[in-house]
Structure 1
Amino acid sequence: MQEWQDEKLISENLTDVRNDGKGGTARNLLIGLFILIIMLSLTWHMIFKDYSIKEMKAILLQADWRWLLGGFTLMLIHQCCIALSIIRVMNYIAPTLQVKFKVAFNTSFIGFFFNNITPSSSGGQPMQMYYLKKLSIPMSYTSVVFIALAIFYNLSMLFYCACVSVFRSGYLQENLGYVSYLLPLGYLLYIVTTTFLLLLFFNPKIIVAALRFVLGMLMRKKLIKNPRNLVRKLLHFSKRYIASSLSFNKNWRLLLELMALHLVQMAAYTAVPFFACMALRAGNTQNCWQLLKDSFSMQAVLNIAASLVPSPGAVGLTEGGFLQLFGNIVPDKQLIPALLLTRVINLYVFLLIAAVITTICFIRVDFKLNAANLNKLDQE
């Protein structure tokens, strides 16, 4: 009970700090959307300048809606895997809360929205934690959840790209082009970030040491008031985080379940270009298995390489990399439509859906669920 009260005070203090810069969050959101629109406009202007819009429109209108529906289904599976991962971890480390699928599903779309409008996908996890805090789910729990999910997301992405690099090395050497210079840097970025997250996950006391270091620096510069009180509160906050993390990372069955969910999640996302090609009857549709292998291989590489660009939604390098990597898979006249259809499926439509869900979630507060979670935490 005391720990929860201390953690609540920390959340209130953080909220006060945010309120001091009233409008800052909304301003950052608008800036992110503005940058995304500018990047999209510039990217598509450069891509479309040598193509006839009427001709491309005619090709898109002939797309097979059944394959399009299949692509959207894959993205829905992608989001559901995230929701199931959130439920599985939360219900293990905080069994009294029993997070429902609706809450986890909304949380997954909030992450999708903010990841795709902020540079380097940096806004998703903080806003997911903020949303769950509005439902009285402590940040000491949600921080464990989203560190774990980030680790398995990175591992699944590295797994597929590594498999492609090993088993289809000859094919990659022939078709990567300039992306071959970006791929090692992408590997390095993901390996470094994943290693750092693993250290936080398996040795959560690092966070306590980091907090002490930051607080010590702030105290020396006299930037905080009542430092002893703040230290006490943060230590109570860290205590629950450490207990949750240590309990969770010893459950190897749960870790394997999460890895399986993320492999399905990443496979669904990586297979979207295949469905776009099949909808347009682009590429070698007479040999579907070969087309699936080729498109899956190229998208697995693109997932890693495009992460080097800190633009919202990885816009720019994703589109340019697609044209480079899929140029030998899709005929020239169908390459741009295949790119557009792929981005419609895996970004634009779901970004609109996520925007609607995010708006509803932040306008409407489930007071009954909030009160229920508070009561359960009080009983711990």
Structure 2
Amino acid sequence: MKKYKKILIDAILFFVIIGLTLYGVFHGEDLSGLKDAIKESNILWLIPAVPLVLFFIAGESIVIWHMLDCYGIYVKERLCFLFSAVGFFFSCVTPSATGGQPMQIYFMKKEDIPVPIATVILLVVTITYKFVLVVVGIGLWLFAGGFLAEYVAEARWVFYLGILLNVGCVILMCVVVFHPSFAKKTLILGAKLLERIHILKHKEERLDKIERSMNHYHEAAEFMSSHWGMIARVFVITVVQRFAMFAVTYFVYRAFSLNSMNFFEVMFLQAVISVSVDMLPLPGGMGISEGLFMVIFKKVFGEALLIPGLILSRGLGYYSELFLSAIFTLVAVVVFQVREHKKSKVK
């Protein structure tokens, strides 16, 4: 019952944020003018955006497939793609992307992948995913100061906060992974303190859950320390995966016959938005992503094309990801139900 209640709350929150975001973007705008501007865009420049979104989803499936292979578990690439799509769909619709990994583990378990192994793989994926954003954010901060001052000045504190939160997240995860005994003691001490001041009720199963979680982190540390070559490949794949999504905005930019900025400049500005919103507790960074786009890309698209640019960029970069991953999530439900039915027949 609690599970369905949480899903309902997340769904309500998701649609409320969509409603507020649409109101904030379109309130007071000339909708007929927006429609005309979008119709006049060159659709040929928009065509590459959809394959980039598909590659963004597929990038994680490549990582999952390779890491399963390291454990001696063979799973078809198309099933790994479905695991990835499920993760992205539930990450898009839940605050701070908290729903993605539990649902991935649920579906991976249906394919007889042990939960501890699935958990370790997804932990490595998450750490690498966050680490890439940290590298991009710090790299821009250190080496592109003038560029950021010109385009990101009004949003620089949100960007710095995003870097800080992502760095904190990576450090925390690394401490938990590579020093699980220290993390375990800290978590138990923190839980007992919260129980003592009556913020949490005393539950024995909470300590058991902490124990199990620390075991998973310890296994992740062992995997990472013994598979450095694999971790390096995962990092490279994740970099390409992330930049594929950042590149979507460039093709939107060119679709409006704009060419004063080059590919990397537009892509790095989109990266600033991703770094800024990734750790914020909003489904898909909705609301704040649109707001940052309107601030950061104001000079890039100009007043007349800013909202049309936002609609196409966000539509292709986020909502198409949501739509495609939703379709493949439905496919995953059907596929795994059929496979489960076949297994029960064999037994």
Instruction: Give the TM-score normalised by structure 2.
Output: 0.86
Alignment counterpart, residue 110 of structure 2, candidates 134, 139, 145: 134
Q: Summarize the Cα distance change of 1:359–1:304 in structure 2 as closer, same or farther, 3 Å threshold.
A: same
1:36-47 counterparts in 2 under 5 A? 36-47=14-25
Contact 1:306 1:321 in 2 (8 A): no
In structure 2, what is the equivalent of residue 68 of structure 1?
A: 46
Partner AA of 1:89 in structure 2: M
Alignment counterpart, residue 54 of structure 1, candidates 16, 32, 42: 32
In structure 2, what is the equivalent of residue 163 of structure 1?
A: 139
User: Could you tell me how far apart the structure 1 residues matched to 2:203 and 2:136 are?
Assistant: 46
User: Could you tell me how far apart the structure 2 residues matched to 1:155 and 1:325 are?
Assistant: 23
**C-alpha distance after superposition, 1:68-98 (max 9, x if no partner):** 2211111111111110111111221x21x21
In structure 2, what is the equivalent of residue 303 of structure 1?
A: 274
User: Could you tell me how far apart the structure 2 residues matched to 1:47 and 1:72 are?
Assistant: 23
**C-alpha distance after superposition, 1:74-132 (max 9, x if no partner):** 1111111110111111221x21x212212211111111111111111111111111221
Q: Note if 1:323 corresponds to 2:303.
A: no
CA shift at 1:291, angstroms?
3.1
User: Could you tell me how far apart the structure 2 residues matched to 1:196 and 1:369 are?
Assistant: 43
Partner AA of 2:31 in structure 1: I
**C-alpha distance after superposition, 1:152-178 (max 9, x if no partner):** 111111222222223321121122133
In structure 2, what is the equivalent of residue 332 of structure 1?
A: 303
| Equivalent pairs, count | 339
Q: CA RMSD in A?
A: 3.1
Query: More displaced, 27-36 or 330-339?
Result: 27-36
In structure 2, what is the equivalent of residue 4 of structure 1?
A: none
In structure 2, what is the equivalent of residue 16 of structure 1?
A: none
1:88-99 counterparts in 2 under 5 A? 88-92=66-70, 94-95=71-72, 97-99=73-75
Contact 1:204 1:246 in 2 (8 A): no
Partner AA of 2:58 in structure 1: C
1:1-380 counterparts in 2 under 5 A? 22=1, 24-92=2-70, 94-95=71-72, 97-205=73-181, 223=203, 242-243=218-219, 245-281=221-257, 283=258, 285=259, 287=260, 290-363=261-334, 364-365=336-337, 366-367=339-340
User: Could you tell me how far apart the structure 2 residues matched to 1:44 and 1:240 are?
Assistant: 41
Partner AA of 1:37 in structure 2: F
Contact 1:134 1:370 in 2 (8 A): no
Query: More displaced, 65-74 or 334-343?
Result: 65-74
Q: Summarize the Cα distance change of 1:258–1:41 in structure 2 as closer, same or farther, 3 Å threshold.
A: same
User: Could you tell me how far apart the structure 1 residues matched to 2:220 and 2:161 are?
Assistant: 34
Partner AA of 2:30 in structure 1: S
Q: Summarize the Cα distance change of 1:69–1:238 in structure 2 as closer, same or farther, 3 Å threshold.
A: same
Query: What SS does the aligned partner of 2:319 have?
Result: helix
CA shift at 1:199, angstroms?
2.3
Query: More displaced, 202-211 or 271-280?
Result: 202-211
CA shift at 1:264, angstroms?
0.2
CA shift at 1:236, angstroms?
8.7
Q: Summarize the Cα distance change of 1:349–1:273 in structure 2 as closer, same or farther, 3 Å threshold.
A: same
User: Could you tell me how far apart the structure 2 residues matched to 1:341 and 1:142 are?
Assistant: 35
Q: Summarize the Cα distance change of 1:37–1:239 in structure 2 as closer, same or farther, 3 Å threshold.
A: closer
The sequence identity of aligned pairs, in percent, is: 24
User: Could you tell me how far apart the structure 1 residues matched to 2:37 and 2:180 are?
Assistant: 53
Contact 2:61 2:83 in 1 (8 A): yes
Query: What SS does the aligned partner of 1:330 have?
Result: helix
Partner AA of 1:86 in structure 2: I
Contact 2:249 2:267 in 1 (8 A): yes
Q: Summarize the Cα distance change of 1:164–1:368 in structure 2 as closer, same or farther, 3 Å threshold.
A: same
Partner AA of 2:28 in structure 1: D
Query: More displaced, 291-300 or 102-111?
Result: 291-300
Q: List gaps (5 residues or longer) in structure 2.
A: none
Instruction: Give the TM-score normalised by structure 1.
Output: 0.79
Query: What SS does the aligned partner of 1:310 have?
Result: coil
Q: Summarize the Cα distance change of 1:204–1:102 in structure 2 as closer, same or farther, 3 Å threshold.
A: farther
Partner AA of 2:92 in structure 1: N
Q: Summarize the Cα distance change of 1:118–1:251 in structure 2 as closer, same or farther, 3 Å threshold.
A: same
Q: Summarize the Cα distance change of 1:213–1:86 in structure 2 as closer, same or farther, 3 Å threshold.
A: farther
Larger Rg: 1
In structure 2, what is the equivalent of residue 12 of structure 1?
A: none
CA shift at 1:309, angstroms?
3.2
